[in-house]
Every structure is written in C-alpha cells, then in structure tokens.
Amino acid sequence: MGSVSAGDTGFVLLSSALVMFMTPGVAFFYAGMVRSKNVLNTIMLSFAVLGTVSVLWSLVGYSLAFGPDWGGMIGNLSWVGLAGVEQTPNADYAGTIPHLAFAVFQGMFAAITPALITGALVDRVRFKPFLAFVVLWSLLVYSPVAHWVWGAGGWIRAVGALDFAGGTVVHVNAAAAALAGALVLGKRRGLGTEELVPHNLPITVLGAAMLWFGWFGFNAGSALSANGLAASAFVVTNLAAAAAAVAWMGLEWLHRGQPTTLGAATGCVAGLVAITPASGFVSPMPALVIGSLAGAICYGAVILKWRLGYDDALDVVGVHGAGGVVGALLTGVFSSTLVNPAGADGLLFGHPERVLAQLVAVVAPLAFSFVCSYLLFSLVDTFWGLRVSHEEEETGLDLTQHNEVGYNI
C-alpha cells in the first residue's frame, strides 16, 4: 500500500470540483437552447441528476462500478455505503491518493452522464418519471459499462481498449440512451411547423465556457496525479476543443454563409467529447486532427438528424454520440506509448489491432446502453407516464412541473 501524496490528492480533489462544475455547465448549455417557458425545467433536470446520482453513487453505484470484480461484468457489493473506501490509497486504481478521492472523482463522471441525456428529451419529459429512469439507468447501465471499461477485471479493459476519461463510458453511453429516450417520447409538438428556436444564446455560450473550463479536470484529472501526463492531457484537451470550434465555424460559413455563436459553442463541445478517450494517449498534433475531424463529422451528424427523422432536441446523439465514436476510434490510430507508457501504440505506430479493440469498446456499450435504455424508458412510461400532456407542453414545463417561471419581467 503506497503513501498518500498531498500534491496528487489536492490535484484530484480540484479536478473533482471542476468535473462537478461541468454538470451546471450542461444545465446552462442546454437551457439557453430551449424556449423560455422551459428554461428552469431544463436546468432542474441537470441539478436534480447531480444530487440524485451523488447519493446513489455513495450507496451502491461506486461498488457496482469499481468494486471487486464479478465475472468481468460488474463489481460486487463489498463497498456498499462506501464501506472499506478509506483515506488510504487503493492499489487497483490510484496508488498516491486516498481511495475516497478516487471515488468522489468518479462520482462526478457518474453524475454528468445522465445529465447529458436530458438534452434529447427537453420540452416534453415529465420530471418525476425521468428521475426514476435515472436511478434505474445509473445502476443497471452506467455502473456495468464503467466496470467493463475501467474496473479492475472489466472485460473491455482486459481486451486492451483505451478510454482515458470517458469517451465510451460517458459520451457514447449517454448518446445511446438519449436516442432511445427520444424514440420512446416521440417528437416535440410543433416541430417543423413552429419556430422552436433558442431563447437565450448567451446562456448557452456561458454553459459551453463552463464545460470547456471544467473539462480540464475531466481529462487532466484522469491522470490521477499532478504529473507530465496530466499536463499533456490538459494541452491536447484545449487544442482539440479549439480545432473543433474552428472547423464547425468554417463549415457553417461554407454551408450557410455565416458562422453562428451556437455553432462555435457546439463545435468546441464536439472537440472536447472526441479528445476525451484519447487525451491521455496522444500528442498535440494528433489532437488537432481529432478536434478538426470531430467538428466536421459532428456538424454532418447534426444535419443528418433531420433526414433520419428522430427528435434529439439538443443534438446529444450528433455531438456526444458521433464525437465519442470518432474520438474512441481515432485513439486506436494515434495512441502512443511515448505519451503514456501505460497505454499502447496505435495504428500509426504499427499496431492496427488497436483500432479493432477500440471498435469493440464502442459497439458493446452502444448496443447495451441503447437496448437497456429503451426498455427502461418504456418501463417508466408504462407505469408512470414519461411524457407531459399536450396542455402541459403548450403551457411550458417550468409552470407545470415546478410551479415557477424563469423570467418574471
């Protein structure tokens, strides 16, 4: 058992706070894009998820995700209620920080993931049934997938797939669930016949800035130590976000004649999503490539949504799904042991099998999350009714779900 490093512990606790700050960032990012009558409900979905999952994580979620392995599929219940999760390091996950610090850091990842799902469902999902879904999903989908990819003994980890900070665990996982939820709920009323435009883009840009800021904790913090790898992850995170924002703006300029504020904000998030799995394994120039490709591909994925006909209201699938897949696969191309000796060399360094491992790490969580999420959404819809009534949708969810209004002017 190693001794606790004060520097590493302080770094991980600060990173945990940054990741926590990202969930309010999601709340603001989404809230500016909905109509004013739904702004508080959109914010509340993320805030309620943060509280609910934090409690659930301490009770049982952490043990299922990172507890001693049970057949490579899930952790056992040894750490229920954080029993045995102490102030000393745990050799399986972090040798220089308290086990408690690792648990709270991972808990912030568990909280933001279902908050991302809300973007596909805004304007029409009932608050209480959605929270019921979050409880079920966190235990039955998020915790198993986290164990597969990151848990000691997890089967995806065993096949050699690389996911430094959650490209598959967080983003692909959330996007698959978001698509399932959008299909179960159906389209927003008025889609295609009414102007369903963002009501406050400055709030959205504020949310994007909060995400960009917090993402340094997300990715650099995943080094679990204040070292050179954390510095590398910090740098490539910034470069990918910047490159994706520029790529998105450039494509908008060519496609629509003008770059938009919403496009720049969405583009930077796409780059952050894509670099997440690769952030601890690639150097700066590949990060520029990953960010640029993510900006372009996610832009196309958002446009494709209209042709496919599903109503992912705030483009969770187009940004987090497409971006997560791009980032995970390109990790298998650009990863290098020169950046991280604990990683693996990718396609460009003579190991094409790395791309196959990354493909497994994408397809398995995506399929599992979509099928389970569809069943869970359908179950909640059957027993509690997932969608608000026509009258409630017309009135707005701020009043009908919370008896409040966002703006009293």
Whether 205 maps to a domain, the answer reads yes
Structure tokens at 32: 């500016």
pLDDT higher than 90, residue 192: no
Residue 195 confidence class, pLDDT cut points 50, 70, 90: confident
3-state secondary structure of 67: coil
pLDDT of residue 193: 84
Instruction: Please check whether residue 107 lies inside any domain of the structure.
Output: yes
- Vertex 257 angle, CA 256 and 262, to 5°: 65
Structure tokens at 382: 């059957």
CB contact at 8 A, 157 and 148: yes
The confidence score (pLDDT) of residue 157 equals: 97
User: How much is the pLDDT for 2?
Assistant: 74
Q: What is the mean pLDDT of residues 129-144?
A: 98
The answer as to whether 359 is a domain residue is: yes
**Distance from C-alpha of 126 to C-alpha of 119, rounded to nearest angstrom:** 14
Q: What share of the chain is helix, strand, coil (3-state, %, to 5)?
A: 70, 0, 25
Whether residue 130 is contained in a domain is answered as yes
The answer on pLDDT for 20 being more than 60 is: yes
Q: Identify the CA nearest to 127 among candidates 408, 397, 382, 367.
A: 397
CA angle at residue 154 from 153 to 155, to 5 degrees? Answer: 110
In a domain, 274, yes or no: yes
Query: How does DSSP assign 308-373, residue by residue?
Result: HT---TT-HIIIIIHHHHHHHHHHHHH--TTT-TTS---GGGT-THHHHHHHHHHHHHHHHHHHHH
Give the H/E segment covering residue 120.
none
Q: Of 265, 273, 172, which is closest to residue 215 (Cα–Cα)?
A: 273
pLDDT at position 405 over 70: yes
Q: What is the pLDDT of residues 321-330, one digit of tens each?
A: 999 999 999 9
Residue 305 lies in a domain: yes
Q: How would you class 370 by CB atoms within 10 Å of its CB: exposed for 0-12, middle for 13-18, buried for 19 or more?
A: buried
Q: Specify whether the backbone of 257 is left (phi greater than 0), alpha (psi in -120 to 50) or beta.
A: left
Q: pLDDT (tens digit, 9 = 90+) per residue, 215-269?
A: 999 999 999 999 999 999 999 999 999 999 999 999 999 999 999 999 999 999 9
Total number of domains constituting the chain? 1
Q: How far apart are CA 152 and CA 18, in angstroms?
A: 25
pLDDT value at residue 409: 75
User: What residues are paired with 94 via a beta bridge?
Assistant: 90
Q: How far is CA 352 from CA 162, 206, 357, in A?
A: 14, 40, 9
d(CA 32, CA 207): 8
What CATH number did the domain enclosing 354 receive? 1.10.3430.10
Q: Which amino acid is at 95?
A: G
150-180 pLDDT, tens digit each: 999 999 999 999 999 999 999 999 999 999 9
**Residue 1's pLDDT is what?**
56
Angle between helical axes of 127-137 and 39-56 (0-180°, round to 10)? 30
Whether the predicted pLDDT of 134 surpasses 60 = yes
CB 313 within 8 A of CB 362: no
Closest CA relative to residue 22, chosen from 55, 57, 52, 46 = 46
pLDDT higher than threshold 60 for residue 305: yes
pLDDT value for 408: 86
Residues in the chain: 409
* Contact assessment for residue 24 and residue 243, using Cβ atoms and an 8 Å cutoff: no
Contact between residue 160 and residue 354 where contact means Cβ atoms under 8 Å apart: yes
Greater pLDDT, 317 or 95: 317
Between the two ends of the chain, the Cα-to-Cα distance in Å is 60
Residue 408 placed within a domain? no
pTM to 2 decimals? 0.97
315's CB contacts (< 8 A; 6+ apart) are 119, 266, 302, 305
What integer pLDDT is reported at residue 183 of this predicted model?
Answer: 98
Rg (C-alpha) for the chain, rounded Å, is 20
| Helix, coil or strand: residue 242 | helix
Any domain includes 1 = no
Instruction: Measure the CA dihedral 399/403/405/409, to 10°.
Output: 110
Rounded distance between C-alpha atoms, residue 231 and residue 254, angstroms:
35
Q: Residue 372 is part of which domain span?
A: 6-402
